[in-house]
Amino acid sequence: AQKVTQAQTEISVVEKEDVTLDCVYETRDTTYYLFWYKQPPSGELVFLIRRNSFDEQNEISGRYSWNFQKSTSSFNFTITASQVVDSAVYFCALSGGDVNAGNNRKLIWGLGTSLAVNP
Amino acid sequence: DGGITQSPKYLFRKEGQNVTLSCEQNLNHDAMYWYRQDPGQGLRLIYYSQIVNDFQKGDIAEGYSVSREKKESFPLTVTSAQKNPTAFYLCASSIPGTSGTIFGPGTRLTVL
């Protein structure tokens, strides 16, 4: 069975602190994708990153970075020098199967981590 | 600008009434999805459609119905059979094979 676990329900930090959001996944697929989405108070889900299972290279985008480790089935998300605008709920998701076959597999979602960045 | 439109943002209905939530996309995406979000439960898939005139049940399809007569549109009807319809509903779309899913702004449905 596929499963995504975000053990941290809520995190509160002070502005400019670094913060890491944890994501642990379970899957038997050999090919899969991992995602992070941001949901600000407005409710709309904003796509942040997609990582495929064959690419374990870490990625950095501005203040955001992602650490993918297949050995521990983790795909953690770090925000450096957090800002108030980073306050949101962050979701990790997993999609498996042969996406190249044109079969867009549904996403399996974690329950989300609510991040509050205080001034 | 390309994107997904969901209307209205807030919707109130009396118990026992059917209600249809609108979802329109101009991204030329083949696949469209409906998710339900409840507090503390993440997102759950209601229905999805890979192509026009075809759709499949997701994990919680009971009490819901959809249609996909046009590529751009994927309306969701919440029927009176849905036991607890009050929730936040998110529509999404993607191009099959890419796994890049884009979400609409959502509709918050409250059944009184």
pLDDT at B99: 56
List the 32-51 stretch of B: residues with Cβ below 8 A of A.
33, 40-45, 48, 50
Q: What is the distance of C-alpha A5 from the center of its chain?
A: 10
Q: Is the pLDDT of residue B19 over 90?
A: yes
Specify the higher pLDDT residue, B20 or B98.
B20
Looking at the complex, report in whole angstroms how far the Cα of residue B90 sits from the nearest Cα belonging to chain A.
8
> Which pLDDT belongs to residue A61?
87
pLDDT at residue A103, rounded to an integer: 43
Q: How confident is the model at residue A16 (pLDDT cuts 50, 70, 90)?
A: very high
Query: What length does chain B have?
Result: 112
pLDDT tens digits for A35-80? 999 999 888 899 899 888 888 888 888 999 999 999 999 999 999 9
Top-confidence residue, A107 or A86: A86
- For residue A103 the two structure tokens come to 């079969």
Least confident of A15-29, A86-100, B34-48, B67-81: A86-100
Tell me the nearest-neighbour CA distance from B98 into chain A, angstroms.
7
Poorest-pLDDT segment among A14-28, A97-111, B97-111: A97-111
Looking at residue A114, its pLDDT comes to 95
CA distances from B33 to A39, A68, A105, B16, B30 (A): 17, 27, 11, 25, 10
For residue B42, give the nearest of A44, A102, A110 by CB distance: A110
Structure tokens at B31: 């696949």
Per-residue pLDDT reduced to its tens digit, B52-109: 999 999 989 999 999 999 999 999 999 988 889 999 999 999 876 665 788 999 999 9
Predicted local distance difference test score (pLDDT) of residue A40:
92
- Which residues are paired to A66 by β-bridges? A59, A77
Residues of A in contact with B99 (CB under 8 A): 33, 35, 50, 95, 99, 104-105
Mean pLDDT over residues A78-106, rounded? 79
Give the confidence band of A1 by pLDDT, cuts at 50, 70, 90: confident
Query: What is the torsional sign of CA A100, A24, B94, B33?
Result: positive
According to the model, what pLDDT value does residue B26 have?
A: 95
Omega cis (within 30) before B8: yes
| Spatial contact of B49 and B68, defined as CB atoms under 8 Å apart | yes
Q: Do A107 and B88 touch (CB under 8 A)?
A: no
pLDDT at B6: 95
How far apart CA A102 and CA B109 sit, in angstroms, is: 33
A29 has pLDDT over 90:
no
